[in-house]
Structure 1
Amino acid sequence: MKKNYFVPVLLSSALVLSSFSAANALAAPPDQPGKPWNETGSVPVFVKEKFGEKQVGNAAAHALDYLKKIEKQIGVANPDKNLKVKNIQKDSLGMKHVRFNQTVKGIPVEGSEVVVHYNKQDELVSVNGSHIPEATEEIDTSAAVSEAAAVEAAKKAVNAPAQLEETPLADLVIYPFEGTNHLAYKVNVNFLGEKPGNWFAFIDAKSGETIDQYNALMHVDNHHESVGTGVLGAQRKIHTTRTQLPSQGTIFSLSDTSHAGLQGIFTYDANDGKIFSNNSASWKDEYQHAAVDAHYNSEVVYDYYLEEHGRNSLDDKGMAIVSYVHYGDNYNNAFWNGRQMTYGDGDGSYMVPLSAGLDVAAHEMTHGVITNSANLQYRFQSGALNESFADIFGALIDSEDWEVGEDIMGPGAKADAVYRSAV
């Protein structure tokens, strides 16, 4: 059973609340054992500027040393042996976050993470996360199935097409499922086609059987200096690349490499898999409208995350921002598939091409940000939070209202009001 916890740090020499129980979501005051933290205004301790010890030396080493001190409170046995540093992040408030993965003999435990937080003065303020107490050294971590065999089993389990755009990725993990901690290959199978997928399949490393699988294709929902014209007639200023070709003359493409530190913004035609090109700097052909909007909106969202949050692209490392338009036949949806944005053209009645909506693009790109930060699993409660955050940022970036998708509703859907609301 996974255990979640939150440990606020106090100024007292004890450093943690003595009544803390790893089974509680929040620590409880000594006089209210078993109840969530509920001081005035329900504000956690660390927000009230009650801080713990100051970091000395390496942050990861200091955080691990602290976790060893509170081993009994959080229930993570032998932290120095069973926790591995995932990364150290510093946010715009100056806070530092040291993230650990729970491991068994060096193999990560799926769904577990422990985070130690420091304020901008390098004072330790809280610990939160979740771990699997039953994932212990007693688990046999020798695989009887090869990685290649696991990949083939995963492809079969998710009905993947014969030709894949991306090579499946496989990692050996400990996978807690229905009361058992399995040694498994976590295989990511990603493909487009008639029924696109961003599947994660867990293949038992002992038997080769499929333990679990889910599709993390992130939809808007299950319904949903060149100049160009967008779907709704708006004139867009877009960054393109100009190339002189001996046989074709001057060609312009929807390839924007004008941003320092960014690999680029690229917009493709899903029908032929090629970047959109044009023999003029004026993009006015009707077939180009959806591409113009996708290209323009991608840059708007990129600029927002860079200017408002100091984030360089979806992964904060300048990864390329890739969009495909004209996907499917009368496809009333858009999605992030773990690597790119893909937009349908709608059916012309209920929806118009979905790339026309800035909030739709912002929603999908925010899924990309989530994939590359919190990486919330796209199912159950974490999946709901994933969608909620994407809606909220969609509405923040397209700041005219709190509605999401109102601009891509077709004439046949007007009576149904807006697509969804972030309120």
Structure 2
Amino acid sequence: MNLKSVMATFVLGTSLVSGGAISHAEVSADAEVKEAPQFIKKNFDVKNVVSENAVKEFFKANEKEFNLKVNKDLKLVKSETDDLGMTHYVYERVIQNVPVANSKVVVHTDQRGNVTAVNGEFHKEAPNKVRQLKEFNKNQAVDYAWDHIDVDREEADKVQESEIGEDFHTLTENSDLVVYHEDGEYTLAYHVELQFSQPYPANWQLYINAETGEVLKSANVVHEATGTGTGVLGDTKSLNTYAYNNTYYLFDTSKPMNGVIETFDNYGGQYSSLPGYYVTDSGNTFYSERQKAAVDAHYYAGEVFDYFYDTFGRVSYDNQGADIRSTVHYGNDYNNAAWTGNQMIYGDGDGSKFTYLSGADDIVAHELTHAVTDTTAELIYENQSGALNESFSDVFGYFVDSEDWLLGEDVYTPGVAGDALRSLSNPNAYDQPDHMNEYQNLPNTEQGDWGGVHINSGIPNKAAYYTINSLGMAQSEQIYYRALTVYLTPSSDFASAKSALEQSAQDLYGSSAANAVTQAWNNVGLY
């Protein structure tokens, strides 16, 4: 298999908790092959749920409803009270204190302590106990992961010292013990994450059997997209820059964040050390042809930061003020852009299919929304959850660039007017379904677009189009942000997304808005 080819493409078209050792478990024959996420909304009898202990009592009183024992099957991760006064208690689903991979259970309460909804991945048929056996540690699991992807770790971890005294590591590694689940079976595994920018953009997610070392699943889930300065389209932009030793850098410290927005040029091409070299100018006027892609990457990264901060109070993609780093001129005629898990990479295009990909603000917004999703809902990049991952990025791309319903039109086929990569208003025009009766059941493989993440996203995109037309952009963007950051969980499918958006609309604007969301999804065949 060509390992580079498993990157999810925009054009075609994520630290765990360690615990006790567990091995493969036998599950009864009537267990669900893949449990669908649930969204339970009803009048629960328990009142005054205003603390962690009160939530425990709630679970005890409703044990038959959820088939969960709160002290054994759940572990509180956090509780947050939002601007509406609602509190959300987020739990990990655990087996013998080891978290089940890609699973959350969330209890939502109102200001009076009433439980308004409970949603997530309950795993009601998961085994209560499994035999404990672990043959190697998490550091060894990382070694297995490197062997599997066949990449030289030293090459991926090159360190570059910048002109202003900062060192840049291009590698991030994480390894933690989880319970991996697939086809009704639960197996102790190490979840290994390898993120790097060279020798190719990568955000590898691997699950390695903790007893045998077998790689149970692996995928490179890079979300690809496919002073003053002059941008790609010839427009002049004001830029926030940084002066040092009579040189100006595309280095923005003006945002209300802990980090910075910084932009680099990958002068050496695809295989040179990333992030590359700072884009500089002696006169603080970035007007050269070489600088155009960097001007747009820098400016639009700031625009997307401003959008999320001004609209939702979110401080960078992780809400913790993380650096937003971009590298332009990546590769040779590279017809894509990528969020690698720690930075953006933009190709120049081949001049025919694409021009400089940083020249489209909706593409920049699309990719940075993937980063927001990675730090909130953590939607698994496959099948319906993956299509939702893509769709939410498309929708927020529209919110940032709402002049039309098209995505990527500013840089796609520069010699052809009026076309684009996708359309929210007319997915069929770009070979996407816009109704469930056109849903494509594709295999969860590279050739199958990981279950159609870039294809079936047309259905939720069309639901968003109906929602925005009904409620307007101001209400719709708040509803979509709340659904993404409060209600969606890793395995959410289209039905879960409908419920999450309905509940978000109800929370924010009442029943009429919720009814509009319901109708929007009814229009695309989700009843």
The normalised TM-score by structure 2 is: 0.67
Matched residue, 2:48: 54
Q: Which amino acid aligns with 1:61?
A: N
Q: Aligned-pair distance for 1:192? A: 2.3
Does the CA contact (< 8 Å) of 2:252 and 2:261 recur in 1? yes
**Superposition CA RMSD, Å:** 1.8
Match of 1:259 in 2: 255
Opposite residue 261 of structure 1, the aligned amino acid is M
Encode CA deviations 1:24-51: one digit per residue, 9 max, x unaligned: xxxxxxxxxxxxxxxxxxxxxxxxxxxx
**Mean CA deviation greater in 153-162 or 170-179:** 153-162
DSSP 3-state at the match of 1:199? strand
CA distance in 2, matches of 1:349, 1:102: 49
Runs of 4 or more, structure 1, over 4 Å off, are: none
Identity %: 37
Larger radius of gyration: 1
Cα distance, 1:232 vs. partner? 0.9
Q: Is the CA contact (8 Å cut-off) linking 1:109 and 1:135 kept in structure 2?
A: no
User: 1:217 and 1:137 mapped to 2: Cα distance?
Assistant: 35
Aligned 8 A contact 2:96 2:129 in 1: no
- 1:32 equivalent in structure 2: none
How many angstroms does 1:416 deviate by? 7.6
Which structure has more helix as a fraction of its residues? 2
CA distance in 2, matches of 1:358, 1:94: 34
CA–CA separation in structure 2 for the residues paired with 1:122 and 1:152? 48
Aligned to 2:20: none
Count of residues paired in the alignment: 371
1:131 Cα deviation (Å)?
Answer: 2.2
Residues 332 and 363 of structure 1: CA distance in aligned 2, closer, same or farther (over 3 Å): same
SS of the residue corresponding to residue 378 of structure 1 reads coil
| Partner of residue 143 from structure 1, selected from 128, 131, 134 | 134
What corresponds to 2:143 in structure 1? Answer: 152
Gap change, CA 1:415 and 1:260, over 3 Å in 2: closer
Q: Which residue of 1 aligns with 2:37?
A: 4
Question: Which digits, 9 at most, give the CA deviation of each residue in 1:264-294, with x for residues without a partner?
Answer: 1111223352222222211111111111101
Deviation at 1:303, TM superposition (A): 0.6
Displacement, 1:120? 4.0
Q: Distance in 2 between matches of 1:332 and 1:416?
A: 19
Q: Which structure exhibits the higher relative contact order, with contacts defined as CA atoms closer than 8 Å and separated by 6 or more residues?
A: 2
Structure 1 residue 106, shift from structure 2 partner: 1.7
2:119 maps to 128
Matches within 5 A, 1:7-406: 7-10=40-43, 15=45, 53-56=47-50, 58=51, 60-76=52-68, 78-162=69-153, 163-164=155-156, 165-193=170-198, 195-220=200-225, 224=226, 226-244=227-245, 250-271=246-267, 273-406=276-409
Contact 2:406 2:423 in 1 (8 A): yes
Letter in 1 for 2:41: P
Contact between 1:194 and 1:328, CA under 8 Å: does it hold in 2?
Answer: no
Give the 3 Å change call, closer, same or farther, for CA 69–327 of structure 1 in structure 2.
same
Contact persistence 1:160–1:191 (CA under 8 A): no
Structure 2 CA distance for aligned equivalents of residues 366 and 386 of structure 1: 9
Q: Which amino acid aligns with 2:421?
A: Y
Match 1:409 to one of 409, 412, 422: 412
Q: Deviations over 1:97-137 (max 9, x none)?
A: 11111112221101221110122444321111112234334
Deviations 1:179-233 (A, max 9, x none): 321110000112223542211111111011111112211112xxx3x11111111
Distance 1:355 1:70 in 2: 51
Per-residue Cα deviation, 1:215-271 (whole angstroms, up to 9, x for no partner)? 211112xxx3x1111111111111111112xxxxx0111111112334111112233
Uncovered stretches (5+) of structure 2, i.e. residues with no partner: 1-31, 157-169, 268-272, 426-527
